[in-house]
Amino acid sequence: MLNQKTALALPWMSRVSTLFKATGPGILMAAAAIGASHLVASTRAGAEFGWQLAWLILLVNIVKYPFFAAGARYTAATDESLLHGYHKQGRGYLMLFTGLNVIAAIASTAGVCMLTAAMLTQFIPLSIDVLALIVLVSSLALLIFGHYKLLDKMTKIIMLALTLTTLVAVALAFNRHTGFGASDVAESPWQWAYVGFLVAMMGWMPAPIEVSTWNSLWLIEKRKTQTVTAKQAIFDFNLGYVTTALLAIVFLALGALVMHGSGERFSDSGAVFASQLITLYSQVMGNESRYLIGIVAFLCIFSTTVTVIDGYSRTLDMGWRLLTNKPAQRSHLTAMMLAISALGLLLILFFKGPLLPLLEFVMILAFMTTVIFAWLNYRLMTSKSLDAKHRYGPVMVGLSWVGLLYLTGFAGLFIYWYLAK
């Protein structure tokens, strides 16, 4: 009987193993997402406004879904990247994407690198500028010498560790009824003064939409070493996307349960912010866990930095090759990584230390370009150049229009708010 049970279990275990091996691009996307948008924006939203913004975080994830899903669906159907699709639509569309992507690449690299350096200040007593340089050099070494395979394996382990740690921390916070916000009247985020914060939070929630092109390119890279079916590719994307959405609420819960109502606010200083974030965990998991939490949080943000450099470099390299009709060369990709990192470091030096203003600037920039990136993906996934069975159906088309109207409306509101203040 035991042998029969074992025999019956083997096919199921084999399917799970095959599915896990096929995952990668979606998990990498999640690693890129669970950085500033979660550790900073979600946690800060919970700390300052309690649970009031939970529904908005879920809504943003829902309305952005069709635009992110385009990366996995288009590549799974055509075995080409989204950038090839833009190029087929017309050279001008790819030029528009690439031009905006250059700006986003520099700003995002600076933002996540500075956050990583801030985490590192908890272990190494050096300035954030110096630590940012160390982070960039380490990231480049991992990408240049480790390539996609190492990035794929490393990310899965780090993501699992951070997810489990955060879930445990939130469960303990619920169990101990930690926090002050339950009995206090929370300040409303629906005030004119907070429009900038709301737009910044939504800009990287769950991530900038151009990350869909990374997912597309990572899927192509994954298919070079193993077979990944269209069904597996879409499952991998959905797994990563749903994980990022749920963890956004989990991070909000941590801020709401532990910090909300205490009168404390996150500091603009990178080093102080990192200490405050680690303290959130240690208050419910015990002070002895402080260094463990610090290491896990650092590794999470470090993996975000690595994936951001890799993702933007791949998209810019591919865009340049398609526009110039040049063959693929590893040296070109490496040069792109070096250029993005160097320009990102210059932006960090320009901001001279304050972390939250830099991250808010990057997130707002991401939101303002989101409408264009979303429109490009929608146009591609409803184009007649794509086989009819792979195009978006009525549900996805409807959700896409809701998303486009939502994103355009908030972008217009932010412009009016910025000019009026």
Q: Which range, 3-17, 216-230, 400-414, is most confident?
A: 400-414
Does the pLDDT at position 214 exceed 50? yes
The predicted pLDDT at position 184 comes to 52
The predicted pLDDT at position 365 comes to 84
100 touches 365 (CB < 8 A): no
Q: Cα(164)–Cα(290) distance, rounded to whole angstroms?
A: 15
Span 168-186, pLDDT tens digits: 778 877 776 544 444 455 6
Q: Which range, 247-261, 368-382, 407-421, is most confident?
A: 368-382
Query: What average pLDDT does the segment 343-348 reach?
Result: 89
- The residues, ordered by sequence, that sit 6+ positions from 408 with a Cβ below 8 Å of its Cβ are 371
Share of the chain above pLDDT 90, in %: 27
Query: What average pLDDT does the segment 375-392 reach?
Result: 92
Q: Domain 26-380+393-420, CATH 1.20.1740.10 — does that match?
A: yes
Encoding tokens for residue 59?
């809504």
The predicted pLDDT at position 402 comes to 96
Q: Is 67 exposed, middle or buried (0-12, 13-18, 19+ CB in 10 A)?
A: buried
pLDDT class for 342, splitting at 50, 70, 90?
very high
Q: Which of 165, 415, 200 is nearest to 291 (CA)?
A: 165
Q: Angle at Cα 122 formed by Cα 272 and Cα 47, nearest 5°? A: 40
**Residue 354 forms beta bridges with which residues?**
269
Does the pLDDT at position 382 exceed 70? yes
Share of the chain above pLDDT 70, in %: 86
Query: What average pLDDT does the segment 217-239 reach?
Result: 83
Q: Can you say whether the dihedral through the CA atoms of 296, 45, 33, 58 is positive or negative? A: positive
How large is the angle between the packed helices 54-78 and 25-33, nearest 10 degrees? Answer: 150
Q: What is the 3-state secondary structure (H, E, C) of the chain?
A: CHHHHHHHHHHHHHHHHHHHHHCCHHHHHHHHHCCHHHHHHHHHHHHHHCCCCHHHHHHHHHHHHHHHHHHHHHHHHHCCCHHHHHHHHCHHHHHHHHHHHHHHHHHHHHHHHHHHHHHHCCCCCCCHHHHHHHHHHHHHHHHHHHHHHHHHHHHHHHHHHHHHHHHHHHHHHHHHCCCCCCCCCCCCCCCHHHHHHHHHHHHCCCCCCCHHHHHHHHHHHHHCCCCCCHHHHHHHHHHHHHHHHHHHHHHHHHHHHHCCCCCCCCCCEHHHHHHHHHHHHHHHHCHHHHHHHHHHHHHHHHHHHHHHHHHHHHHHHHHHHHHHCCCCCHHHHHHHHHHHHHHHHHHHHHHCCEHHHHHHHHHHHHHHHHHHHHHHHHHHHCCCCCCHHHCCCHHHHHHHHHHHHHHHHHHHHHHHHHHHC
Encoding tokens for residue 78?
């055509």
Does the pLDDT at position 153 exceed 90? no
The predicted pLDDT at position 151 comes to 64
pLDDT class for 166, splitting at 50, 70, 90?
confident
Q: Is 124 exposed, middle or buried (0-12, 13-18, 19+ CB in 10 A)?
A: exposed
Q: Cα(59)–Cα(407) distance, rounded to whole angstroms?
A: 11
